[in-house]
Amino acid sequence: METKNCTKCGKEAAASEFGINGRRKDGTPIYKTYCKACVKAYKMQWGADNAERLTEERKREWREQKGELTERQCRNEKCGKWFTPADNRDKYCCDQCRQRKIQRDAWRRKAASKRVQKPTAKTCKRCGQVKPKSEFSRGVGLICNDCLPTYRAEKHQRYKAYYKQKTRERKIRRKGAEGSHTDAEWETLKAKYAYTCLRCKKQEPAIALTRDHVKPLILGGTDYIDNIQPLCHSCNSAKNDTEIDYR
């Protein structure tokens, strides 16, 4: 542990008992020559010996001699009186002017906040039109009432398709089937057969096409697109777990 001798009391003490006066280029501290105890004792003794020099009047005289105190104008606009401050921090000629200024500033801030007008119109994120706020329902966001039914219907369809896909994937995992295919591949397959059921020859939108595995999963079939054929609900149920290729 680094130690140092105090030049005031002559005692040897740890370096942490000395104040830091600066640092060298390499970052090592430069300690003061007096220890902290001697510095404290010196300040207390000097304050006791020079109590009369610490009065407010004496401080004012020192500042006037140095030219630090000059006349300044009161910050209160309605007063505007020139005065000689007792301290460099004084901005008002009296406490009454200070309180009036604080109250006036608070009133101005309150009045300015009331003058701020909230927007009365919104832009719909769906149709892009600027409409009054009354045309928007609370809790919906930036979708106007005209676009809201269509937006909710599409959102319901997206959720329905998402959970239907998850259910199908869970069924495939439970049966231990191999492979998978994407929705884009399924749409391409439906377009290839003109959105027609390969068994009853009916087309969408009169029917809803479903994914049918040519070789059923229970018989070891895969979930690759090569093992998929488009059938309607009734035809898919009629085929059941038999291996029939209608392509």
Predicted local distance difference test score (pLDDT) of residue 69: 59
Instruction: Assess if residue 8 is contained within a domain.
Output: yes
Say yes or no: 182 and 169 in one domain: no
Mean pLDDT (whole number) for 184-205: 87
List the domain range (segments joined by +) for residue 41: 3-54
Mean pLDDT (whole number) for 227-246: 86
Task: Please answer whether residues 186 and 193 qualify as being in contact, where contact means their C-beta atoms are separated by less than 8 angstroms.
Answer: no
Q: What is the pLDDT of residues 27-67, one digit of tens each?
A: 888 888 888 889 888 888 887 787 776 666 676 666 666 66
Say yes or no: 211 and 244 in one domain: yes
Q: Is a pLDDT exceeding 80 seen at residue 140? A: no
From the list 47, 108, 51, the residue with the least C-alpha distance to 77 is 108
Task: Please answer whether residues 149 and 137 qualify as being in contact, where contact means their C-beta atoms are separated by less than 8 angstroms.
Answer: no
Say yes or no: 245 and 182 in one domain: yes
Mean pLDDT (whole number) for 170-174: 81
Instruction: Assess if residue 122 is contained within a domain.
Output: no
Say yes or no: 45 and 82 in one domain: no
Instruction: Assess if residue 20 is contained within a domain.
Output: yes
Please state, in angstroms and rounded to a whole number, the distance separating the CA atoms of residues 162 and 154. 12
Instruction: Assess if residue 123 is contained within a domain.
Output: no
E runs forming strands in the chain: 3-5, 12-14, 18-23, 29-35, 72-73, 82-83, 121-123, 130-132, 209-213, 228-232
Q: What is the pLDDT of residues 149-166, one digit of tens each?
A: 888 888 898 888 888 888
Instruction: Assess if residue 221 is contained within a domain.
Output: yes
Instruction: Assess if residue 157 is contained within a domain.
Output: yes
Confidence of residue 68 (pLDDT cuts 50, 70, 90): low
Say yes or no: 187 and 158 in one domain: no
- What is the domain count for the chain? 4
Say yes or no: 209 and 161 in one domain: no
Instruction: Assess if residue 60 is contained within a domain.
Output: no
Domain of residue 188, CATH code: 1.10.30
Predicted local distance difference test score (pLDDT) of residue 64: 64
Between 210 and 65, name the one with better pLDDT: 210
pLDDT above 90: percentage of residues in the chain: 0
From the list 117, 145, 141, 115, the residue with the least C-alpha distance to 131 is 145
> Taken in order 128, 134, 136, 140, is the CA torsion positive or negative?
positive
Between 117 and 225, name the one with better pLDDT: 225
Say yes or no: 109 and 159 in one domain: no
Predicted local distance difference test score (pLDDT) of residue 56: 63
Domain of residue 29, CATH code: 3.30.60
From the list 228, 245, 235, the residue with the least C-alpha distance to 184 is 228
Predicted local distance difference test score (pLDDT) of residue 210: 86
Mean pLDDT (whole number) for 217-232: 85
Say yes or no: 187 and 246 in one domain: yes
Predicted local distance difference test score (pLDDT) of residue 181: 81
Residue 166 DSSP SS3: helix
Q: The tokens 């059941």 sit on which residue?
A: 240
Angle at Cα 176 formed by Cα 170 and Cα 181, nearest 5°?
65
Say yes or no: 189 and 245 in one domain: yes
Q: For the whole model, what pTM was predicted?
A: 0.39
Q: Is a pLDDT exceeding 70 seen at residue 214? A: yes
Say yes or no: 162 and 187 in one domain: no
Which residues does residue 14 pair with via DSSP β-bridges, in sequence order?
3
Predicted local distance difference test score (pLDDT) of residue 54: 65
Mean of all residue pLDDT scores within the chain: 82
Predicted local distance difference test score (pLDDT) of residue 171: 81
Say yes or no: 194 and 245 in one domain: yes
Say yes or no: 190 and 244 in one domain: yes
Contacts of 121 (CB under 8 A, 6+ apart): 130, 131, 132, 133
Mean pLDDT (whole number) for 200-223: 85
Task: Please answer whether residues 203 and 191 qualify as being in contact, where contact means their C-beta atoms are separated by less than 8 angstroms.
Answer: no
β 209-213/228-232 pair status: antiparallel
Predicted local distance difference test score (pLDDT) of residue 137: 81
Instruction: Assess if residue 62 is contained within a domain.
Output: no
